[in-house]
Structure 1
Amino acid sequence: MKKNDRYIVILAGGIGIKFWPSSRRQRPKQFLDLLGTGRTLLQMTYDRFENHFENYQFIIVTSKRYLSLVKEQLPNIPEDQILVEPMRRNTAASIALASYKIQKLNPNAKVLVSPSDQLIFNDNLFFDAVDQAMVGASTLGNLITIGIRPNRPDTNYGYIQFFPEEGQSVKKVKTFSEKPNLDLATTFIESGDFVWNTGTFVWKNESIIKAFEKYLPEMAEVFEEGTVYFCTEKENDFLIKAYSFIRNISIDHGIFEKSNEVFVVLGEFGWSDLGSWQNLYDVSEKDEENNTVKGTAMLYETSNCFINMPPNKLVVVQGLKDYLVSDSGDVLLICKLGANSKYKEYVTDAKKIGENYI
């Protein structure tokens, strides 16, 4: 496999509901500087891969609503390398779109797929795992995912059970479970042969297309018909029509849970998908009372809290434990820090008050 046959696909179309009210429909979390680095999550993802891929090898998949944000934040990426989904249809459609477009560009491509919102603590160890995955993906049909050993039962992540072959860096996947309940996640942790799915994938492009043809044939048929339109002025019109036909399904449910050709590389690079305020709190600096404060705050009898305030506003907090206080200007959210399951309800109810609040 030649180095110029490699492509990097960055998925940047999510809405980041569990970071509301900072993450809004018009500017979701991947376009925010949540870590205070001066770079957004999308830009940090691009920075991670910039020295490992040529500029023409980048493909960004996003929603029509966010095209201008992608262009603004990644000015080095030509617009024809930004694939615009006319409506949200989950990760299977996003990956299918990128795969069939790449097939038109380079039939020999090997592809790395990355989310736009994950935090990697050790880039060198991350790319060691990527290199192992690239080797594993050399066998036609193999679909490689990169896993992280869990340190707690977390219901927000997908889990991968693997066959623990000694001495094999690329391990065969036994089962693939997306976001289990707490009891099941605890069982997974105790078993010792489960890892978190990071959502980072590697494969020969023809391998994932064969998987779409086998497990999501209706979706494959729609995108196959679009081959003649890719890289032409009719591409956008085709996608508007195509997305009205295809299913809303994740790549996990659509392919990985069905395929017997999925393998996993166990990474040791430190990872968070930054899927919620709780995830951001977990990786943030804390004071002696385990509080994380972004902004200016006076705290009394308060512990294990995440305080997120805009500039030029002082907040005084007394008597809270395990709470999130997040002020985005027009919305102030005060809730239990781990209340991830409530965000959909918050946003749904806020929408009834006014579209501007979501």
Structure 2
Amino acid sequence: MAGGIGSRFWPMSTQKYPKQFQDILGTGRTMIQQTYDRISQIVPKENIFVITNKEYVDLTEQQLPELNSENIVGEPMMKNTAACNLYMAKKIAAKNPEANMIVLPADHLILKETVFLQKVELAFELASQNDYLITLGITPTRPDTGYGYIQFEENNNSDFYKVKTFTEKPDLEIAKTFLESGDFLWNAGIFIWNVKSILSAFDQHLEEMSQQFLSCEYNSNAEEQCIELIYPKVNKISIDNGILEKAENVFVIPADLGWSDLGTWTSVYENAQKDENKNALKSKHILTYNSKGNIIRLKNNNKAAIIDGLNNYIIVDTEKALLICPRDNDQLIKDYVQDLKTEKKGEKFL
């Protein structure tokens, strides 16, 4: 899934060039390229599909030249994650009605790739033998309000658990109680299931959407036109709200993956290399004085920057915009972007 705009990463992430197509951590590979590199170790490239916004199909083709162009699918408009999951399940089922599939966000960091691949293999095995909807769960380290939480039922099998409750993005007080209880995991947004299981779940829990997607002949010349007609009518809802919170057959595999959804500049700071003053810098021409705990990103590596007296700030300079704000305010960047939209000619900076 590679269709998001990543507005919390403004000004580096823009409407034309969102974060999944950026080398956020300075590794030499963009987020979508790293996701491809990871999963292509166990899934052949002809079985890897990317679903993104129509606007980003060309960009995806440029960054993943290994993929056939028909494996890169453009959504006509953003409809959250339920619609794209159903669309791809239909498309894959039309090729192979027995297929097992994994759903991966294109912009996540996974440091422990060997563990990740082992957990995915286990999930594929479970999905092929059972009518299970499976997600990978991460042990929470803080009461984060930006993640979905999975409460699991204890059993004698430590490899996977039945999900008891599924809560999407709770408020801070609820997140704190989840953390204290010890039986909650973060939802990593990585799902594994058989196409029959997920299509059956859509029939049961999102019946109207399921009916809407019946009319298309998938993997044919008529598919794109049919999807163009369907999408304006489709309900905008996440797979979490629409299916996983309601289904009785959801299971979770706990996984210590060195995972982050890199959803904010603070999460990038936490995963970036830092100097002796805990500053995360990418450019060799940045000098800091009396400054600690900052993340500093310059689009132009030939530009010099002097930072004096700033602690725990986000400083991002691009060709079109400059952001300077406390790291504690990283959740407000979406609001800044919204305010800029309302400014006269503000759109050109987004």
Cα distance between partner residues in 2 of 1:92 and 1:285 = 36
1:254 shift after superposition: 0.6
SS of 1:137's equivalent in the other structure is helix
Q: What does 1:338-353 correspond to in 2, within 5 Å?
A: 338-351=328-341, 352=343, 353=345
1:117, 1:192 → 2: CA distance?
A: 28
Note the residue ranges of structure 1 that are not aligned, 5 or more in a row. Answer: 1-10
Give the SS at the match of 1:308: strand
In structure 2, distance between residues paired with 1:114 and 1:191: 28
1:261 — aligned with what? 249
Identity of aligned residues (%): 42
Distance 1:207 1:191 in 2: 31
The 10-residue stretch of structure 1 (22-31 or 51-60) with the greater mean CA deviation from structure 2: 51-60
Query: 197, 203, 220: which is aligned to 2:193?
Result: 203
Q: Which residue of 2 aligns with 1:354?
A: 346
Structure 2 gap ranges (5+)? none
User: Does the residue aligned with 1:198 lie in a helix, a strand or coil?
Assistant: strand
| Residues 215 and 226 in structure 2, CA contact (< 8 A), matched pair in contact too | no
3-state secondary structure, aligned to 2:52: strand
Normalised by the length of structure 1, the TM-score is: 0.94
The answer to whether the 8 Å contact 2:2/2:105 transfers is: yes
Partner-residue secondary structure (3-state), 1:339 = helix
Aligned to 2:32: 42
Displacement, 1:280? 0.5
Aligned equivalent of 2:210: 220
Q: Which amino acid aligns with 1:45?
A: T
Shift of 1:287: 2.0
Residue 280 of structure 1: aligned partner? 268
Instruction: Determine the C-alpha separation between the residues in 2 that align with 1:122 and 1:312.
Output: 33
Pick the aligned partner of 2:184 from 181, 194, 199.
Answer: 194
For the residues of structure 2 that align with 1:195 and 1:338, how far apart are their CA atoms?
24
Cα distance, 1:258 vs structure 2: 0.8
Q: Take 2:229 and 2:130, find their aligned partners in 1: how far apart are those partners?
A: 32
Q: Does 1:102 align with 2:113?
A: no
1:179 aligns with 2:169: yes
Matched residue, 1:270: 258
Indicate whether 1:324 and 2:294 are aligned: no
SS of 1:15's equivalent? coil
Q: Report the CA distance between 1:139 and its aligned residue.
A: 4.1
Aligned to 1:249: 237
Aligned-pair CA distance for 1:307: 1.0
- Paired letter, 1:191: S
Which residue of 120, 123, 136 corresponds with 2:126? 136
- Match status 1:302 vs 2:291: yes
1:334 equivalent in alignment to 2:324: yes
Point out 4+ residue stretches in structure 1 off by more than 3 angstroms.
Answer: none
| Structure 1, 18-27 or 163-172: larger mean CA deviation | 163-172
Structure 2 partner of 1:5: none
Q: How many residues align?
A: 346
Aligned match of 2:136 = 146
Single out whichever of 257-266 and 137-146 deviates more from structure 2. 137-146
Determine helix, strand or coil for the equivalent of 2:165.
strand
- Over the aligned positions, Cα root-mean-square deviation in angstroms equals 1.2
Distance 1:155 1:172 in 2: 23
- Most deviating of 45-54 and 258-267: 45-54
Paired AA for residue 75 in structure 2:
E
Distance 1:49 1:253 in 2: 26
**Secondary structure in structure 2 of the residue aligned to 1:307:** strand
Deviation of 1:24 (Å): 0.3
* CA–CA separation in structure 2 for the residues paired with 1:116 and 1:160: 21
Match of 1:68 in 2: 58
Q: Which residue in the other structure is 2:113 paired with?
A: 123
Contact 2:42 2:117 in 1 (8 A): no
CA distance in 2, matches of 1:291, 1:105: 49
2-side partners of 1:340 and 1:319: how far apart? 19
**C-alpha separation in 2, matches of 1:94 and 1:339:** 31
Tell me the residue number matched to 1:167.
Answer: 157
Structure 2 equivalent of residue 58 of structure 1: 48
Distance 1:79 1:138 in 2: 28
Distance in 1 of aligned mates of 2:84 and 2:106: 13
Q: Which amino acid aligns with 2:349?
A: Y
